[in-house]
Amino acid sequence: MLLNKKHLLNTVVSHAIFWVLLFLFFVLPTLGYQSMKLAYVAAYATKIIPQMMVAYVMIYVLVPYVLNRYGKILFGISVFVLLYLAFVLYTFFRYYGFEIVFPEFYRLSRKVDFWWRATDFHYFAQNIIWFLFPAVILMSVRYYKHQREALELREQKKVAELSALKNQLNPHFLFNTLNNLYALAIKKSDQTPEVIAKLSEILDYTLYRCNKEFVALSDEVKLLNNYIALEKIRYGKRVYISFESNVDNTVKIAPLLLLTFFENAFKHGVSQEIREANIIALLKTEGSKIYFSIENTISTHKHDEESREAIGLSNVQKQLELLYPNNHKLVVRNEDQKYKVDLKIKTA
C-alpha cells in the first residue's frame, strides 16, 4: 500500500512538473510584450485544459480499453472524436472567457458565433498538433518506462531461473563425484588422495569461480578435464575416452553448461556397461562460435536412469534458451547404440 501511494505521488509530481515546464516553454518568450503579457498567459492557459484532457483520456482510457481490446481502427476514430471535443472545449473557453476579458487581443474581420467556430474544420485541423503534442510526449515517456521495467523484470526472471538451474545442477554433480570417492575409499585405493585433490579443485571452481553469468571457456575445459580424470580413476580400463579441445582463451561461455553432457555420457554409457565403453568429445572455437560434440556408446543393459538424464538435459536446454536465444543449435540423436550430441553456440 505504501509503495503504491509513493508511486502515485511520484507520478502526480512528475506530471505536474511536465505541465508547468510546457506552459513556461510557450509563455516565457512572450513576456517581452509588456502591454499584452497577461493576455498571452491567458491565451496559453486556455489551451492547457484541452491538452490535458486529450493526454489523460488517451493514456488511461483509449489505449488500455480501446486500442488493446478493439484495435487500431476504432482507436483512430476515438482519437479523432476526442481531438474534436478538445477543440470544442477550447473554442468554448476562448469565446465565452478569453475574448470577453481581452477583446483587444483577438479580433475577427467579421462577427461569428460560437457554433460557427466549433464547426470550422479548417481551424480545427490547424489546432490538432497543439492538442496532440503533449499526449505524444507523455505516451512516449510512459512507453519507454514500461519497456525499461519489462526489460528489468525479464532480466530478474532470467537471473532467478539460471540460479535455480545451477542449484539443481551443482548438487547433482557433487552427488555423483562423492559416489566416486566413496567407492575408492571402500577399496582403500592409493588413488584416493588424488581424487580428493581433483574434487577440491572442482568444488573451488563451482562454488567460488563460476558465479558470473559467463566464464572463460578455457576455465571450463580445466573443469571438464578434472571431471574426466576422476571418472577415469573410477572406471579404469572399462572406458576409453577422448576429449580434444582447441579453444580461444578470450571466448566465454555459461559456466557448467557442458558438464551435464559428460555426466550423462558416463552415467548412461559407462556405469552399466560390461564391455569397454567409448566416449568421444570435441570442443573448438571459430571466432565467436563454439562447437561441441560428444558421443558415447549406450549400454545394452536396461537401467532406471532416464529421469535423471532428462533432468540434466532439460537444465541445459533451459539455460541455452535463456542465455543464447536464437544463437544456439542443439541436436541430440540416439542411434546405432550410440548417443550423440552436437551443440553450436554463437557467443557474439
Q: Output the average pLDDT for the chain.
A: 79
- Helix 217-235 × helix 192-204 angle, to 10°: 150
Which residues, other chains included, contact 63 with Cβ-Cβ below 8 Å and sequence gap of 6+? 75, 139
For residue 44, how many other CB atoms are within 10 A of its CB? 16
The DSSP line for 74-127 is HHHHHHHHHHHHHHHHHHHHIIIIIHHH-TTT---SS---HHHHHT-HHHHHHH
Domain boundaries, the chain: 2-119, 154-346
Which residues, other chains included, contact 160 with Cβ-Cβ below 8 Å and sequence gap of 6+? none
Q: Which amino acid is at 302?
A: K
Which residues, other chains included, contact 245 with Cβ-Cβ below 8 Å and sequence gap of 6+? 221, 224, 282, 283, 284
Cα angle at 146 between 140 and 149, to 5 degrees?
140
CATH of 154-346, one of 3.30.565.10, 3.40.50.970, 3.40.50.2300, 2.115.10.20: 3.30.565.10
| SS3 state at 59 | helix
Give me the residue label for grid cell 542465455. Answer: 323
How far is Cα 319 from Cα 213, in angstroms, rounded to an integer? 11
Instruction: Dump pLDDT digits (tens) for 24-41.
Output: 887 777 666 656 667 777
Percentage of the residues of the chain whose pLDDT score is greater than 70:
79
Q: Given the DSSP bridges, would you call strands 277-286 and 239-246 parallel, antiparallel or unpaired?
A: parallel
The yes-or-no verdict on residue 285 having pLDDT over 90 is yes
**Residues 215 and 209 sit within 8 Å (Cβ to Cβ):** yes
* Of 293, 298, 332, residue with least CA distance to 313: 332
Residue 103: phi, psi to the nearest 5? -65, -25
Q: What is the DSSP letter of 213?
A: S
Residue 332: phi, psi to the nearest 5? -120, 130
Instruction: Dump pLDDT digits (tens) for 223-265.
Output: 899 888 888 877 777 888 999 999 998 999 988 888 888 888 8
How far is Cα 222 from Cα 245, in angstroms, rounded to an integer? 10
H/E element, 97: none
**Residues 343 and 328 sit within 8 Å (Cβ to Cβ):** yes
**Residues 100 and 94 sit within 8 Å (Cβ to Cβ):** no
Residue 233: phi, psi to the nearest 5? -60, -40
Assign 304 a pLDDT band (cuts: 50, 70, 90).
very low
Assign 129 a pLDDT band (cuts: 50, 70, 90).
confident
Instruction: Dump pLDDT digits (tens) for 75-121.
Output: 899 999 999 998 888 888 887 877 777 776 666 545 667 787 778 88
Nearest-10 Cα torsion for 306, 308, 311, 315: -120
The DSSP line for 70-84 is H-HHHHHHHHHHHHH
CA distance to 22, 80, 108, per residue, from 127 (Å): 17, 12, 17
What is the model's pLDDT at position 172? 58
